[in-house]
Amino acid sequence: MRRELTKSEQESYIWWNEDPDEQAELFTYNEKWQRHFEKVLKIQPIETTEWGARVYRFDKKRIPLPRLPKNLTDEQRKKIGLRLVQSLSKNKAVV
């Protein structure tokens, strides 16, 4: 009989080493991540555990380095918003 895992037991890990030819592996119970890997990225699991975790192997280049969040002023946010609106209105005209 399958036992349900608590949220704290449902872990995710990324295995990464410094070998330039090796790939990274993701071990996760997270169903959202599993759907993303399979449906969006088209990466199928290399292993599925009896508890519902899946393991995926993929190129390490697909993992970006963490970046600091941008601290934007209200004026900068408004400019970005205007550019977005202009871009969306141009794209609608093309379609």
Residues 10-30 pLDDT 10s: 899 999 988 888 899 999 999
In which residue are the tokens 């292993």 written?
Answer: 47
Q: Please check whether residue 61 is in contact with residue 20, taking contact to mean a CB–CB distance below 8 angstroms.
A: no
Cα separation values, 28 from 2, 12, 22, 38, 85, Å: 18, 4, 19, 13, 38
pLDDT band (50, 70, 90) for residue 95: very low
Confidence at 93, pLDDT banded by 50, 70, 90 = low
* Average pLDDT of the residues in 75-82: 94
At 25-76, the pLDDT tens digits run 999 999 999 999 999 999 999 999 988 999 999 999 888 999 999 899 999 9
